[in-house]
Structure 1
């Protein structure tokens, strides 16, 4: 009898310990998959020139679509993917997403030409869009509301860690083995997530949730953004015949207006515009769009500066890029705690102001003479602190006051907006820097654009009003 009581007591203690650890185990698996997606994006920034050399007949515009096609499909598929996760099970959709992502990664590495690579990247984006909202929903579901700001900060830190490791690790991989291995490396990590996820993730769903599989809306928004982005990239090829890029821009804006009209009238639209009736949700998403443009231009242009102006090798440029993202990791953790205590508005506003200072620093400190320690490093630390405060808090503020049934769709829309901002950031960088001869003044133009975009974001986040 005594042994039976002791065994029962021991089993109870073990079960309690497992119960306490399970939320963090779920966090580990879901965040690792998110890490996979994040690191893949940063690696592609490094691999841009290597891919261009592998496909010499491809134009700079085509190479840019290796990144932008992925980001655009990812952004638009995030929203129906969020509904799928809610309706059919967050664990199930997460697992399918990881499987699709690693399969597409292998296809990317095997691509014989740039057009096949773009198609494989689109498939990869579909997998990423399935696992993204499901991953965050699994994390939010595992923790109490009081801990969510801290957990979302930690989740953002994982993405920041990927951004820190991506350039250095990716540059070494690409320089040593070729750009194909930037994709092949996803296979072992993805398989680990599948094996662990099958055993430890807990299924949850909302059987009455709407699935926003709005094919018409997807066509409208992809067409609109593709046309607007193409007008930005192509304008310099038609500098004496601006009627063509102007026509692309006009058509894109028109399609965007049609998309908004469609979402207002459709019974089950891609984007639920009712969510944007909240001042906080609306301000957060518009701010996220502008901030993401600025962040993408800063991150992508760094490799052009290091290799084209300062003459660094690709591995040297990757190592040089680590400091800023590495600063994001501890800042994101502290930012999550600060947001939990003081509210998101204070953290977001401060982060935007700090990031804008890094743009001014680069504008006045960067010269044609390589000077990483005094000209570049301080700017990286400043920008890293700014990003660490802003990025996780944008995610946290977006979903903070949403009802549980809207977690996946609300976070999916927010992530989609940020990805669309990244598409525009890449397009602006390619339009300004991808040419025969890059000069320092080109980077000055980018730094001014970054500063203005982040100041707009700072003004917008003052409208955020989340409850502590």
Structure 2
């Protein structure tokens, strides 16, 4: 890393222009790059939630498998994706973002076809792991390609929309999944990825320009990569399996302990060598530190809201899964327009006002759900206003966290810096799911059982607002 890069990392007031070439990219050529990158991210985000609608179909397709076996169709993907994100970001920065992006999309598509062709649960789980590796490769590379494609004054809008695309896809995944699976079978939850993915590869080959490779001849930090993959993977595994009867408490504590030891070992290793996979100097920037802490708290709150919604619709109001999925749509539909407006505000005033106000709005949505809905179904009057509040809050906060995390990174650290933020969000999502299952996983749920979830949701949103107060991304 050069001295100029060190100064940019160390100074919270340093602007992105300092880290970029003097000739900015043109906006006219930037949006095609954005759409190619966003198509791939849409697929990854949608795939992560679409299978929630597929469980009954998978059980029918694999009648000999237990529910615990089938849970690995989701859990293996979650653990592998979280574990590989940061190493994938390091690979993109040092070996070329276009190259890593296209390899990731291609692997994701091949694995999707393999998932659809699966004749056993073991085959399906293995293919899901390959899918997760492809997703982890393409996600940070896609964000860094978007950052490099836009001039500095347009970057906040572009990153906000990039984050909103992922949030929208994750939210519509269950609804689309329920429709596709009911119409065509569970295999098409995977085959659906193929046409859009092929389009992303075809256009990506011709439109994308190679960036990264800022350290020619730099050796790959295999030790650091291994420590991170084992550390984050073991930590995610211990959280995902927290309520599984197949794992004893001692085994889960052991897995979590191994994860923490490996992560601490990675930090020690990165301080010892001259070319670590992740430059720890990134965390010397206070904004970067606080944004990542806020990403963790908001990631937990977002997952708790998302999963509590389905528990409430099915257990308290007794909605069918397709109807519950449809009821989720109005909030996410607000994310894209709110994110577009938020990006314009962030480009002028920085991300802090959006993050703080958006977190408070999101806390208000939790207060609504805590106080208003009763046991009597009344979607339009009792639920829809809370969904709209949450959609506005998510549209202000989630894309702004991604934008603030990368706003002052030097160009040589775009992918790994963004990958750290995405990995932390993924860990937050895993924790949120585990907490929701812990609080709502019992049979015979009552309305009062949801109070603890909404209180946690509200407290985490308020914590996010507090953590965002020191954030400074204004020019």
State TM-score, norm by structure 1.
0.88
Give the C-alpha shift of residue 450 in structure 1: 1.4
Residues 1:33 and 1:212: Cα distance change in structure 2 (over 3 Å): farther
* SS of residue in 1 equivalent to 2:180: helix
- How big is the alpha-carbon RMSD for the aligned residues of Structure 1 and Structure 2? 2.4
Aligned residue for 1:227? 238
State the partner residue of 1:345.
352
Tell me whether 1:184 sits opposite 2:195 in the alignment.
no
> Deviation per CA, 1:206-244, whole angstroms, max 9, x where unpaired?
2417645421331122113312442x324xx59xxxx94
How far did 1:257 drift?
4.2
Counterpart contact for 1:263–1:271, Cα < 8 Å: no
Structure 2: give runs of 5+ residues left out of the alignment: 1-24
Asked whether 1:252 is paired with 2:262, we answer no
SS of 1:465's equivalent in the other structure is: coil
What residue number does 1:121 align with?
128
- Which has a greater percent of helix? 1
Q: Which residue of 2 aligns with 1:215?
A: 226
The 1:255–1:203 alpha-carbon spacing in structure 2 relative to 1, beyond 3 Å, is closer
Counterparts in 2 of 1:459 and 1:212: CA distance versus 1, 3 Å = farther
CA distance in structure 1 between the partners assigned to 2:96 and 2:106 by the alignment: 16
Shift of 1:64: 3.8
Of 172-181 and 372-381, more deviation after overlay is shown by 172-181
CA displacement 1:58-114 (0-9 Å, x = unmatched): 555544433232122112211121122222221111111111001111222233343
Task: Note if contact 2:100-2:138 (Cα within 8 Å) is conserved in structure 1.
Answer: yes
Cα gap change, 1:101 to 1:150, in 2 (>3 Å): same
Q: Which residue of structure 2 lines up, in the alignment, with residue 145 of structure 1?
A: 152
Instruction: Report if the CA contact (8 A) 2:287-2:471 is conserved.
Output: yes
SS at match of 2:334: helix
Contact 2:156 2:403 (8 Å CA) reproduced:
yes
- Alpha carbons 2:26, 2:151 under 8 Å: kept: no
Deviations 1:342-387 (A, max 9, x none): 2111110111111111111111222222111111101100000110
How far 1:282 moved relative to its partner? 0.9
- Aligned mates of 1:62, 1:448 — CA distance in 2: 33
Q: 1:10 aligns to what?
A: none
Q: 1:93 aligns with which of 77, 87, 100?
A: 100
Matching of residue 443 in structure 1 with residue 450 in structure 2: yes
Deviations 1:33-82 (A, max 9, x none): 11111111231233344435544555555444332321221122111211
Query: Residues 104, 434 of structure 1: CA spacing in aligned structure 2 closer, same or farther, 3 A cutoff?
Result: farther
Comparing 298-307 with 398-407, which one deviates more in the overlay? 298-307
8 A contact 1:77–1:129 mirrored in 2: yes
User: Counterpart of 1:367 in 2: which secondary structure?
Assistant: coil
**What is the match of residue 68 of structure 1?**
75
Is 2:214–2:412's contact at 8 Å kept on the other side of the alignment?
A: no
Alpha-carbon distance in 2 for matches of 1:457, 1:284: 9
Q: Secondary structure at the match of 1:233?
A: coil
Q: Does residue 1:278 correspond to 2:282, yes or no?
A: no
Q: Distance in 2 between matches of 1:274 and 1:233?
A: 37
Residue 318 of structure 2, aligned match among 306, 311, 319? 311
Tell me how many residue pairs correspond in the alignment: 444
Question: What is the 5 A alignment of 1:403-418?
Answer: 403-418=410-425
Whether 1:169 and 2:179 are equivalent positions in the alignment is no
Residues 426 and 48 from structure 1, CA distance in 2 versus in 1: closer, same or farther, beyond 3 angstroms?
farther
Say if 1:79 and 1:212, in contact at 8 Å, map to a contact too: no
Say whether 1:262 aligns with 2:273: no
- Output the CA distance in 2 between the equivalents of 1:42 and 1:226: 18
Distance 2:134 2:253 in 1: 30
For residues 261-311 of structure 1, give each alpha carbon's deviation from its aligned partner in whole angstroms, at most 9, with x where no partner exists. 432234355544332222111111111011111111211232232223222
Name the counterpart of 1:105.
112
Give the Cα–Cα distance (whole angstroms) in 2 for the partners of residues 428 and 391 of structure 1. Answer: 20
- In structure 2, distance between residues paired with 1:178 and 1:431: 31
Distance in 1 (alpha carbons) for counterparts of 2:357 and 2:221 = 35
Q: Note if contact 2:339-2:396 (Cα within 8 Å) is conserved in structure 1.
A: yes
